Every structure is written in structure tokens, then in C-alpha cells.
Amino acid sequence: MSLELFDLKGKVALVTGGTHGLGMAIATGLGNAGAKIVINDIFQDKLEAAKTEYKKAGLDVAVYNFDVTNESAVMEGIRQIESEVGPVDILVNNAGIIKRIPLEEMSVEDFSAVINIDLIAPFIMAKHVVKGMISRGHGKIINMCSMMSELGRYTVGAYAAAKGGLKMLTRNMATEWGRHNIQINGIGPGYFATSQTEPIRVDGHPFNDFILNRTPAAKWGDPDDLQGAAIFLASNASNFVNGHILYVDGGILATIGKPINEK
């Protein structure tokens, strides 16, 4: 019985922003666990390139082009997906952006852009996927949170506000939809090697040294390190887990850290 708990055969999983980075890693993990994978993005060329990459990994992924911040586009995208692929059993709200600007220099436009994609879009996506989940009496929603759901950092104030809000939105989704046998949880990655963190990860960048020191595992996360947490939260193994943020951070949140030169 135990391994069957993690089997996703017969499930449809929609991963937003799944053309690369953490979304692609998570979608690949869910696909390898048996789910039919659907991804979205806003650039058709990235969707086509990603489809080819997934195919090389043995996964036939369905791709849809819509902006997660545009409610009418989301409604049409979900309608198409549920008509052409099937009802969405698993939603991973992964699409996101970051803007690294000191708050006193940040425009309201930039602040709003981050909030729109990182906080309001997960609400829009969930609102239009959950209706079917309620009617079917089951569903899984996974929101991509962050270390910034718990901690502040210089220049990422809008992102921290969004990801902190996403943690509480996750808990409120669980509060409102748990009664329908829908589990809504978050994954809180530490620092991972993707295009999003590339600017602060290059060798010699002070932040790179800081993170290697601040992380007990003493390395940047590999996106595939998130696959186990995603499969767990997408599967029957987590049917009594709700409103939980599962941090996959190499130990960052467990420690105050250590002096740079200390072993």
C-alpha cells in the first residue's frame, strides 16, 4: 500500500510557468509519478521548446499560452484544458517574478507587478480551478512560497509581501476548501539555481558566498530537490495535510547562521 500513496496515475496536473526552472522540475517529477502534465507560459516559443525538452524526458506535456494575471485568459485557458485534456486534479501555482529594488526607490507600478503575478494570480488560478474540484469532491493545490514567506531581505520587499501573503492565502484556502476534500499547501524553496537567481548566484557575487554560508547544506538547491515534496503534496500521501508550508531549504530556516570564516 505505501508506495501506491504517491502514485499520480490518472491525475491531470497543471503547473503554471512550467517551461523551465522550478516549474519544469516539479512538472517532471509529477509526470514521472504518473500524472498527465499541463503547463502554461506567456511565450509560445518557450512553450514549444519546453514541449520538446519534456519529450526528451519521456513526457508528452500539453502546453497552453495564457497570462496568469489575466482572469478572462485564465478562465478560457482552464476551459480549454478541461475540455481537451481533462479536469485539473492538481494545480501548482508556480509562475512568479521578482524585482530587486530598494523599497524607497521602487515604483508603485513595479511593486504592483510583483503582487499581481506572485499573489493575485495564484488566487485567480485557484478560484477557477477549485470549482471543478469542489464538484468532484477532491483536489490538490500547491502554492510556491519562499524563504521570503518568513524572512525579509534587502531589495525584495514587494516579493516578500507577495510570498508572505501567499503563505496566508494558502492557509485561508485550506480553511475555506478543506471541507470539500481539497488539500491546499505550499512549498517554500530555499535558494535554488534557476534563471531567477542567476543574477545573485554568479561566482564571486557576494550573495553567492553569503548563501553558501547561510545554508547548512552549504550549496544552492538543485530544482530536482523539490520533486519529492511536490509528489507528496500532490498525492494521497498528504490527504490529511492542509494549510502547511513545506520548506525545502537545506536548513536555512533552522539556523541563525554562522560567521563567514567559521567551519
Which residues sit at the interface with ligand GCO, rule CB under 6 A? Answer: 98, 100, 146-148, 153, 156, 159, 189-191, 196-197, 200
- In angstroms, what is the minimal distance from the CB of 75 to ligand NAP? 14
Q: Cβ closer to ligand NAP: 83 or 195?
A: 195
**Residues 247 and 228 sit within 8 Å (Cβ to Cβ):** no
- Return the C-alpha cell found at 189: 524553496
| Binding residue for ligand NAP, selected from 6, 7, 20, 85, defined by CB under 6 A | 20
Is 191 an interacting residue with respect to ligand NAP (CB under 6 A)? yes
Q: In the β-sheet with 139-144, what is the strand arrangement from edge to edge? A: 62-65, 36-41, 12-16, 90-93, 139-144, 182-189, 245-248
- In angstroms, what is the minimal distance from the CB of 90 to ligand GCO? 22
**Per-residue contact track with ligand NAP, 62 to 81, x per CB under 6 A?**
-----xxx------------
Q: Bridge-partner residues for 43, per DSSP?
A: none
Q: Cβ closer to ligand NAP: 122 or 139?
A: 122
Is 41 an interacting residue with respect to ligand NAP (CB under 6 A)? yes
Size of the site for ligand NAP (CB under 6 A): 29
- Return the C-alpha cell found at 84: 481537451
Q: Bridge-partner residues for 202, per DSSP?
A: none
Q: Cβ closer to ligand NAP: 82 or 150?
A: 150
156 binds, among ligand GCO, ligand NAP, none (CB under 5 to 8 A by kind): ligand GCO
Q: Cβ closer to ligand NAP: 77 or 139?
A: 77
How far, in whole angstroms, is CA 159 from its chain's centroid?
14
- In angstroms, what is the minimal distance from the CB of 246 to ligand GCO? 13
Q: Is 191 a catalytic residue?
A: no
**Per-residue contact track with ligand NAP, 199 to 238, x per CB under 6 A?**
----------------------------------------
Q: How does 242-253 read in b/e, with b if 16+ C-beta sit within 10 Å?
A: bbbbbbbbbebe
- Return the C-alpha cell found at 242: 492542509
CA–CA gap between residue 39 and residue 18 (Å, rounded): 5
| Binding residue for ligand NAP, selected from 16, 227, 235, 238, defined by CB under 6 A | 16
- Return the C-alpha cell found at 11: 491525475
Is 99 an interacting residue with respect to ligand NAP (CB under 6 A)? no
Supply the DSSP string of 116-135, one letter for each residue: IIIIIHHHHHHHHHHHHHHH
CA–CA gap between residue 55 and residue 49 (Å, rounded): 10
Residue from 54, 64, 154, 159 carrying the catalytic annotation: 159
153 binds, among ligand GCO, ligand NAP, none (CB under 5 to 8 A by kind): ligand GCO
CA–CA gap between residue 10 and residue 204 (Å, rounded): 46
CA distances from 79 to 43, 64, 86 (A): 20, 11, 10
Residues involved in catalysis: 159
